[in-house]
Amino acid sequence: MDPATSNAWFKLKLERYGALLLEIADPCLMPKAAKNSVEVEGMKQSHIRDGAAMTNFLCWLDAEVAAGNLYDEAVLADKLETFRRADASLVDLSFDTISASAGNAAMCHYNHENQEVPGPIIQDTLYLVDSGGQYLDGTTDITRTIAIGTPSDEMKRQFTLVLKGHISLASALFARGTCGHQLDVLARQHLWANGFDYDHGTGHGVGHFLSVHEGPQRIAKAVNNTPLVPGMVLSNEPGYYRADEFGIRIENLELVVEKATNGDSVMYGFEALTRCPIDKRNIVTELLTEGEKAWLNQYHQKVWSDVSPLVEGEALVWLEEACKPL
């Protein structure tokens, strides 16, 4: 029995009838966590198609804001779902969409459906959307923080610090045997250096057409003794939240892969699965190093290469602009 997941009733019953109990980890956990080659390919392909849905949505959103149509959070969540459901392989959303405008985004698990009236998007602030889909070949989970009008300099500065942390984790090399809690500081370091933090984990495991939050792997401050191994999928989602003002989160899903080096140790790293532009309008370019700029430009080139064949018209034009180098 796995003491972490089995309840005491089963243990007592089995002992009562003389069963010999072995306390071991659930043998299903690691085969689910470390995807096989078919599951990995499915995760890659589902993220590309999900990126097309996100591109269509973000193009539509920018056009509506430019036209002065400041819809509420419910309208935006429903519109994004419509774009996802255009894919016949979508079975359902992977969780209730977090569609959060301005100060509502400061609550990291905000749900507009729990409010008497969904909040409207507001000019010159930020809109956060955390969403995902359950496709037959994979599960997605993505957060993007979008400029509505012209966000303040402070909003852009905080966004850039969050982005720097996201890039630090995404580009990390780590030795075989490394656990998620040993990497958590990489995502927080730039916020910490400026006196800020966020009150949630940095990354959770994601299943393949299973749970969008799935262990045993995790990236957080709390100790987690499960080493990261190739085939695992985790989120990379640092953030920053200022009560009643705004919230920022940048989330990609990452695949653990083996990395070639000139050294003699087995090294692992991450390969981004998510394919969707990060809003460059929120970035203070001067705060990025040349290496960070190169990472973002390379990421956007991958987004363009993979997603552009799946969109057309205004969405294609929008994507090209969103993926241009800094």
pLDDT at 25 over 90: no
Q: pLDDT, tens digit, for every residue of 53-86?
A: 999 999 999 999 999 999 999 999 999 999 999 9
pLDDT at 5 over 90: no
pLDDT at 148 over 90: yes
Q: pLDDT, tens digit, for every residue of 86-105?
A: 999 999 999 999 999 999 99
The torsion angles phi and psi of 144, rounded to 5 degrees, stand at -130, 140
pLDDT at 106 over 90: yes
Question: Locate tokens 């730039």: which residue?
Answer: 190
All domains of the chain in start order, with CATH: 1-33 (no CATH), 34-322 (3.90.230.10)
Distance, in Å, from the CA atom of 275 to the CA atom of 233, rounded to the nearest integer, reads: 15
Distance, in Å, from the CA atom of 130 to the CA atom of 61, rounded to the nearest integer, reads: 15
Distance, in Å, from the CA atom of 62 to the CA atom of 95, rounded to the nearest integer, reads: 24
pLDDT at residue 89, as a whole number:
96
Question: Locate tokens 């190093």: which residue?
Answer: 289
Question: If pLDDT is split at 50, 70 and 90, which confidence band does 280 have?
Answer: very high
Structure tokens at 19: 């069963």
pLDDT at residue 178, as a whole number:
98
The torsion angles phi and psi of 29, rounded to 5 degrees, stand at -65, -50
Nearest to 181 by CA among 124, 135, 219: 219
User: Any idea what the Cα angle at residue 114 is, between residues 110 and 120, rounded to 5°?
Assistant: 70
Three-state DSSP at 195 gives: coil
Question: Residue 136 CA to chain centroid, in angstroms?
Answer: 19
CA R_g for the chain: 20
- Give mean pLDDT, residues 239-264: 97
pLDDT at residue 61, as a whole number:
98
pLDDT at residue 121, as a whole number:
95
pLDDT at 265 over 90: yes
pLDDT at residue 268, as a whole number:
98
End-to-end CA distance of the chain: 53
Highest averaged pLDDT of the listed ranges 10-14, 15-19, 167-171: 167-171
Residue 117 CB neighbour total at 10 angstroms: 9
E-state strands within 106-173: 125-131, 133-135, 138-139, 142-148
pLDDT at 326 over 90: yes
pTM of the model: 0.94
pLDDT at residue 84, as a whole number:
98
pLDDT at residue 3, as a whole number:
85
Question: If pLDDT is split at 50, 70 and 90, which confidence band does 240 have?
Answer: very high
Q: pLDDT, tens digit, for every residue of 287-323?
A: 999 999 999 999 999 999 999 999 999 999 999 999 9
pLDDT at residue 6, as a whole number:
87
Question: Residue 141 CA to chain centroid, in angstroms?
Answer: 5
Q: pLDDT, tens digit, for every residue of 186-216?
A: 999 999 999 999 999 999 999 999 999 998 9
pLDDT at 4 over 90: no
